[in-house]
Amino acid sequence: MLRYTATEFFIPIISFHEQASGWSAFINRARDREAVIRGYQMFERLLSDFAEAQIISFDSAAADIFNSLRTQKVRIGTMDLRIAATALAGNLTLLSRNLVDFKQVPGLHVEDWTA
């Protein structure tokens, strides 16, 4: 029996931004039709996957926390810091394999379920 249901998980909009940016760059660098086709197929898959997910917004509370973390000089990438701020604003546990960076964020509860 599963311990959690799908309704208990959220994906930050920042993750969509990162993946969409990556596939957009892939398409822009494509040098042949197969690569362009693959890029757009991945965009379709991305759209489909995110359409089925519960998305958590980057709102004013997350933006305030992000700015505070920046002021505190938390030294992780901008997108990861936005993800962390979103989790903190929602009082959520962040699931990630990237414990090295996320453990640097004060007050953030992060777990790696792949270990």
Q: What are φ and ψ of residue 16, in 5° steps?
A: -65, -45
* Predicted confidence (pLDDT) at residue 2 exceeds the cutoff of 80: no
Give residue 27's pLDDT.
Answer: 97
pTM of the model as a whole: 0.90
Average pLDDT over residues 56-64: 98
SS3 55: strand
Whole-Å CA distances, 38 to 15, 19, 46, 48: 20, 14, 12, 15
Decide if 94 is inside a domain: yes
65 and 51 share one domain: no
Average pLDDT over residues 14-29: 97
51 and 68 share one domain: no
66 and 107 share one domain: yes
107 and 64 share one domain: yes
Residue 19 is encoded by which pair of tokens? 């993946």
What is the number of structural domains in the chain? 2
Decide if 83 is inside a domain: yes
66 and 47 share one domain: no
Contact at 8 Å (CB) between 55 and 9? Answer: no
Confidence label for 8 from pLDDT (cuts 50, 70 and 90): confident
Q: Which domain holds residue 74?
A: 60-111
CB proximity list for 113: less than 8 A, separation 6 or greater: 95
